[in-house]
Amino acid sequence: MKNSLKTVTAIAALTLGMAIAPVAFAQQAKPTAPAANPAATAAAPAAGASKSLQELLERVRQGRAEDSTVNKQREDEFRRAQADQQRLLQQAKASVASAEADGAKLEADFQKGELKLTDLQNQLQERLGSFGELFGVVRQAAGDTRGQLRNSIISAQRSGRDVVIDKLAQSKELPELKQLESMWAVLLEEAIEQGKIARFTAPVVSIDGKENNSEVVRIGPFTAVSDGKYLNYLSSTQRLAVLGRQPSAAAVSAGQDLADATSGMVDSAVDPSRGALLSLLVQTASFRERLDQGGTVGWVIMVLLVIGTLMSLERIITLSMVASKVMTQTKSRTPSGSNPLGRVLLAYQENKGRETETLQLKLDEAILKELPSLERGLSTIKVIIAIAPMLGLLGTVTGMITTFEVITLFGSGDPKMMAGGISQALVTTVQGLVTAIPLLLLHSLATGRSRAVVEILEEQSAGIVAEHMEKGK
């Protein structure tokens, strides 16, 4: 393209030169002044113009020659590239043909391999015979044994036993004799350890989450105790953890005796469910939690129970002491002002010279003065007995209101959300009855003691009046 542009430029320059040359020649041929030799003057410009055109023509010819050479080189390069492309195309076609031939051969080999594999599998099934059933039984037994070992508390003492069993349960090949013997040994060891009481050191997770190596006493596959505290076996991590809430004091004491014992017979608590019952202790509410479930009404009832109990005990003890003094006074003829009967007798001594009717009124007055001290607090206890069940009913109503509010807000899909209100309703009812029933018994006992003392006073007063009337006669 560049050479063609040079050629066109040269031709255009040549044409322009041929057009300008006569003009220049004519301008130079026009005489401007007389010359001595006109012929010489005209010949000089003609010779210069011929020389310029000749140079231009040579340049044009040279440019054409150069363009022809370049074009020829380009054509040669194109022919060589075309030959190379043709050669590469032939090589690609040959490679494709070879690959197709190899693919067909591999396909044929694959088909033959499939047929051979099917024949070999059929032969394997025929030769296995009863061994195939044995393999299935072994895998099933290994799977059951693996689950048993992971959930056994014995694994806390002998860890890593399930590794061999796990490989056997996941194996896809026939078990070897060594593997079967290993499984038999593990099962035998488990059976033997289930009948032992073992003492060993193992990591124990405390309530605060810290893990410390502690001495553990294990009773077969059922219960484990460390430092007098019962442990729970975590099958997911194969670790022992202290129960969040220990059983009753008697069971804890038995566990401590077991941990301290080195020989002989020791009483201890055993969980036959292998930890399930002990784990439920965490979800069982304690006495304080039961009281908290009653809410404010429940605590008011418990305060009334304490007040009523203290008042009843005080009345019973006081009236018992008064009755004892009165009985002592009945055996003595010397009146004492430290007991009600003695004070009644003193009133008789002060008024025994009066008439019978007046004397009886004075004795009645003395008895009436003793009644407030003998009956003090009994009415208050009776009020508490009447109020406690009513407060329990109030707690029941408020608990049910809370339950219905929860149902309104969250529905009845989750029973745990309704448990708070139901617990309050039931606990306050129990608290009201627990308060009223014992206080009713204590009130009856205190009232009986009071009435017994009053009856003695009235009996003695009647006897004194009768004796005074006999003397008057």
**What are 221-239's pLDDT values in tens digits?**
888 888 878 888 887 777 8
Least confident of 8-22, 73-87, 303-317: 8-22
At 441 the pLDDT is 93
At 203 the pLDDT is 85
Is 446 a residue whose pLDDT tops 80? yes
| Tokens 């009812």, residue located | 429
Mean pLDDT throughout 428-453? 91
Share of the chain above pLDDT 90, in %: 10
At 347 the pLDDT is 83
At 8 the pLDDT is 43
**What are 369-422's pLDDT values in tens digits?**
888 888 888 899 999 999 999 998 998 888 888 888 877 887 776 666 777 777
Q: So where are the chain's domains? A: 2-29+40-104, 129-194, 197-283, 292-472
Whether this model's pTM surpasses 0.85? no
Is 45 a residue whose pLDDT tops 60? no
Mean pLDDT throughout 302-326? 91
Is 42 a residue whose pLDDT tops 60? no
Q: For residue 241, what pLDDT band results from cuts at 50, 70 and 90?
A: confident
**What are 127-182's pLDDT values in tens digits?**
666 666 777 777 788 888 888 787 788 888 887 777 777 777 777 777 777 877 88
CA distance readout (Å), 206 to 138, 232, 240, 247? 39, 11, 9, 16
Query: How many whole angstroms separate alpha carbon 10 and alpha carbon 212?
Result: 105
**Mean model confidence pLDDT for the chain:** 78
Least confident of 4-13, 74-83, 278-287, 445-454: 4-13
At 317 the pLDDT is 92
Per-residue DSSP letters for 79-146? HHHHHHHHHHHHHHHHHHHHHHHHHHHHHHHHHHHHHHHHHHHHHHHHHHTHHHHHHHHHHHHHHHHH
Mean pLDDT throughout 196-219? 82
Q: 454 versus 207: which is more confidently predicted?
A: 454
Q: For residue 39, what pLDDT band results from cuts at 50, 70 and 90?
A: very low
- What CA dihedral angle connects 426, 428, 434 and 436, to 10 degrees? -130
The two tokens of residue 450 are 């009071």
Burial class (CB in 10 A: 0-12, 13-18, 19+), 309: middle
At 49 the pLDDT is 56
Is 308 a residue whose pLDDT tops 90? yes
Instruction: Report whether 304 contacts 435 (CB < 8 A).
Output: yes
Per-residue DSSP letters for 411-457? -SS-HHHHHHHHHHHHHHHHHHHHHHHHHHHHHHHHHHHHHHHHHHH
**What are 265-303's pLDDT values in tens digits?**
777 777 777 667 776 766 666 777 778 778 888 899 999
- What CA dihedral angle connects 195, 201, 207 and 209, to 10 degrees? -130
Least confident of 24-28, 323-327, 356-360, 456-460: 24-28
Is 349 a residue whose pLDDT tops 60? yes
The two tokens of residue 275 are 């930890």
Share of the chain above pLDDT 70, in %: 83
Q: For residue 438, what pLDDT band results from cuts at 50, 70 and 90?
A: very high
At 401 the pLDDT is 85
Query: Minimal CA–CA distance to 380: which of 447, 328, 294?
Result: 447
Is 358 a residue whose pLDDT tops 80? yes
**Cα 113 off chain centre by:** 53
The two tokens of residue 264 are 């002989």
Q: 94 versus 11: which is more confidently predicted?
A: 94
Is 32 a residue whose pLDDT tops 60? no
In Å, the largest CA–CA distance within the chain is 219
At 132 the pLDDT is 64
Q: 279 versus 463: which is more confidently predicted?
A: 463
Long-range contacts of 181-190 (CB under 8 A, 24+ apart): 183/138, 183/141, 183/142, 183/145, 186/145, 186/149, 186/161, 187/145, 189/158, 189/161, 190/148, 190/149, 190/152, 190/154, 190/161
CA distance readout (Å), 23 to 18, 31, 38, 395? 9, 14, 19, 134
Is 353 a residue whose pLDDT tops 50? yes
At 129 the pLDDT is 62
Please name the amino acid found at residue 170. Answer: Q
